[in-house]
């Protein structure tokens, strides 16, 4: 789900960069020194997750875990995801430096939204509601990311609808898988380190 | 935090495999251009669209890769050529071919043929090496995690300094 350089139109690139810059600014303001280890670990978690591929039909999709990062970090997910994407672009040429803004926005926005939608569920004591919150947040963040990626290609992709539909359906099984993973990780965290979800 | 880190590592590491970055590589022999298109782990991009452009950006030809990710073109064009590969939405790679040096026809044709046969092995080897260069290694991944922690460490330092003042 990393958009490479040379595929997007100028207006999309500019818009994505500005929106991401805003998100990163907001996120950095919220970070207190005590949050940093958490942000750094989730940042590198996202960095590694994109290297794990799950075969879906003829192609493959990679894990995102943007939901997990957003649910735990809120707006701080913007800088966390930005840093991870920056190093993926620099070290592996995944995506690209020019598309960094758009990619950050696509991944972080649904994640931050999930945070505000489901944080009440995560604060509850019952295991089921924590799992439910994690699963919904994890799954919807993947689908939201896929949707935004499709929209970013709207201006430049000629066969837009065909591509968008196949891209979106390809991410359905991934969303399901990530829902399970995110739900599981969050229930585990709730047991061993509940303050992470406060 | 330690248990969490451990959890992240155990969940994430065993399945490390393919990555989505697309690579394209090509070389030319006279009028033929042969090339290969593959993902970062070395697996072939099947049926990816390959386009051939000249120096001015005019499209000369277009082809699809086969099951092994291989493709070939024939062209008379001698200047710099550009090859652009696209595999799925947002995945794109390019490679530039150097100018073709004119080879004098008559006396060298026979030597060239013999050379070509000998060079075939070498060419395959170069292609393999190139593939390995583009492949992700464990070292890259661990290094990347290191960089991320380093960067957040610097941010930490700056934040603390700001809070202290």
In a domain, B95, yes or no: yes
More confident site: B100 or A9: A9
Tell me if residue B34 falls in helix, strand or coil. strand
Residues in chain A: 198
Rounded to the nearest angstrom, the minimum Cα separation between B149 and chain A is: 6
Q: What angle do CA A55, B26, B144 make, to 5 degrees?
A: 50
**pLDDT-derived band at B3, boundaries 50, 70, 90:** low
Do strands A59-62 and A53-56 pair parallel, antiparallel, or not at all (unpaired)? antiparallel
Cβ-contact A183, A138 below 8 angstroms: yes
Residues 6+ apart with CB under 8 A from B9: none
Rounded CA-CA distance A1/A44 in Å is 17
In a domain, B163, yes or no: no
Is A149 in Cβ contact with B4 (below 8 Å)? no
Mean pLDDT rounded to a whole number for chain B: 77
Give the bridge partners for A54, in sequence order. Answer: A61
3-state helix, strand, coil in chain A (%, to 5): 75, 5, 20
Chain A residues whose beta carbon lies within 8 Å of the beta carbon of residue B3 = 192-193
Percent of chain B with pLDDT over 70: 80
Pair of tokens at residue A131:
């799992």
Is B88 in Cβ contact with A91 (below 8 Å)? no
Looking at chain A from residue 92 to 151, which residues have their Cβ under 8 Å from any Cβ of chain B? 92-94, 149-150
Percent of chain B with pLDDT over 90: 2
Cβ-contact B93, B84 below 8 angstroms: yes
How many separate domains does chain B show?
A: 1
Intervals of chain A under pLDDT 50: none
pLDDT value, residue A176: 93
Handedness of CA B108, B111, B113, B118 (dihedral sign): negative
Candidates A12, A24, A27, A44, partner chain B, best to mutate (most B CBs within 10 A) = A44
In a domain, B142, yes or no: no
Q: Is the pLDDT of residue B75 over 90?
A: no
Rounded CA-CA distance A141/A71 in Å is 10
**Whole-Å CA distances, B54 to A113, B83, B101, B105:** 46, 9, 16, 24
Q: Which domain holds residue B109?
A: 22-134
pLDDT value, residue B108: 67
Chain A residues whose beta carbon lies within 8 Å of the beta carbon of residue B2 = none
Q: Is the pLDDT of residue B15 over 50?
A: no
Residues 6+ apart with CB under 8 A from A188: B7
**pLDDT-derived band at B125, boundaries 50, 70, 90:** confident
A20 burial via Cβ count (<10 Å: 0-12, 13-18, 19+): buried
Q: Is the pLDDT of residue B143 over 50?
A: yes
In a domain, B145, yes or no: no
For B58, the enclosing helix (H) or strand (E) is none
Of A84, A94, A153, the CB nearest to B21: A94
Q: Does A45 touch chain B (CB under 8 A)?
A: yes
Q: How many CA atoms lie within 13 A of A145 on its CB side?
A: 31
| Separation of CA B41 from chain center | 10
In a domain, B30, yes or no: yes
For residues B61-66, average pLDDT: 87
Chain B residues whose beta carbon lies within 8 Å of the beta carbon of residue A41 = 1, 4-5, 8
Rounded CA-CA distance A25/A104 in Å is 13
Buried-state track B68-91, b at ≥16 Cβ within 10 A, e below 16: ebebebebebeeebbbbbbbbbbb
Per-residue pLDDT tens over the stretch A24-63: 999 999 988 888 889 999 999 999 998 887 777 666 678 8
- Name the residue among A24, A126, A127 with its Cα closest to residue A76: A24
CATH number of the domain to which B27 belongs: 2.60.40.1930
In a domain, B26, yes or no: yes
Question: Closest residue of A to B45, CA-based?
Answer: A59
Is A33 in Cβ contact with B163 (below 8 Å)? yes
Rounded CA-CA distance A14/A10 in Å is 6
Where do the domains of chain A lie, and which CATH numbers do they carry? 10-197 (1.10.1760.20)
A10 burial via Cβ count (<10 Å: 0-12, 13-18, 19+): exposed
pLDDT value, residue B17: 37
Candidates A3, A24, A39, A40, partner chain B, best to mutate (most B CBs within 10 A) = A40
Which 8-state DSSP code applies to residue A58? T
Tell me if residue B39 falls in helix, strand or coil. strand
Rounded CA-CA distance B52/B85 in Å is 9
Per-residue pLDDT tens over the stretch B4-14: 555 555 554 44
How many other CB atoms are there within 10 angstroms of residue A45's CB atom? 25
pLDDT value, residue A18: 96
pLDDT value, residue B10: 54
Rounded CA-CA distance B107/A69 in Å is 67
pLDDT value, residue A62: 85
In a domain, B160, yes or no: no
In a domain, B149, yes or no: no
Highest mean pLDDT among A9-13, B77-81, B127-131: A9-13
């Amino acid at each position: 789900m990393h958009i490479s350089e040379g595929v997007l139109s100028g207006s999309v690139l500019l818009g994505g960069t500005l929106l991401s810059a805003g998100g990163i600014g907001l996120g950095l303001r919220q970070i207190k020194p005590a949050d940093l280890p958490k942000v750094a670990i989730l940042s590198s978690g996202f960095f590694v997750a994109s290297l794990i591929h799950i075969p879906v039909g003829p192609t493959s999709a990679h894990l995102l875990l943007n939901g997990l990062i957003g649910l735990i970090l809120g707006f701080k997910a913007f800088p966390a995801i930005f840093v991870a994407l920056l190093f993926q672009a620099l070290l592996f040429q995944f995506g690209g430096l020019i598309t960094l803004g758009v990619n950050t926005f696509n991944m972080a926005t649904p994640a931050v939204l999930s945070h505000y939608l489901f944080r009440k569920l995560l604060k509850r004591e019952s295991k089921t509601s924590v799992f439910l919150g994690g699963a919904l947040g994890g799954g919807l963040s993947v689908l939201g990311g896929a949707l935004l990626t499709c929209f970013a290609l709207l201006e430049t992709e000629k066969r837009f609808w065909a591509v968008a539909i196949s891209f979106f359906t390809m991410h359905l099984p991934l969303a399901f898988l990530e829902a399970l993973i995110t739900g599981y990780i969050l229930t585990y965290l709730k047991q061993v380190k509940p303050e992470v979800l406060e | 935090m330690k248990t969490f880190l451990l959890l992240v590592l155990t969940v994430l590491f065993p399945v490390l495999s393919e990555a989505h970055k697309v690579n394209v590589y090509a070389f030319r022999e006279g009028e033929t251009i042969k090339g290969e298109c593959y993902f970062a782990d070395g697996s072939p991009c099947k049926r990816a669209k390959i386009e051939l452009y000249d120096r001015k950006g005019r499209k000369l030809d277009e082809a699809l890769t086969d099951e092994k990710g291989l493709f070939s073109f024939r062209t008379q064009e001698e200047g710099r050529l550009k090859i652009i590969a696209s595999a799925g939405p947002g995945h794109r790679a390019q490679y530039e071919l150097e100018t073709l040096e004119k080879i004098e026809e008559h006396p060298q044709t026979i030597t060239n043929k013999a050379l070509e046969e000998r060079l075939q092995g070498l060419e395959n080897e170069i292609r393999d090496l190139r593939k390995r260069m583009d492949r992700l290694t464990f070292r890259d991944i661990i290094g990347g995690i290191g960089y991320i922690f380093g960067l957040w460490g610097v941010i930490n330092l700056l934040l603390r300094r700001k809070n202290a003042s």
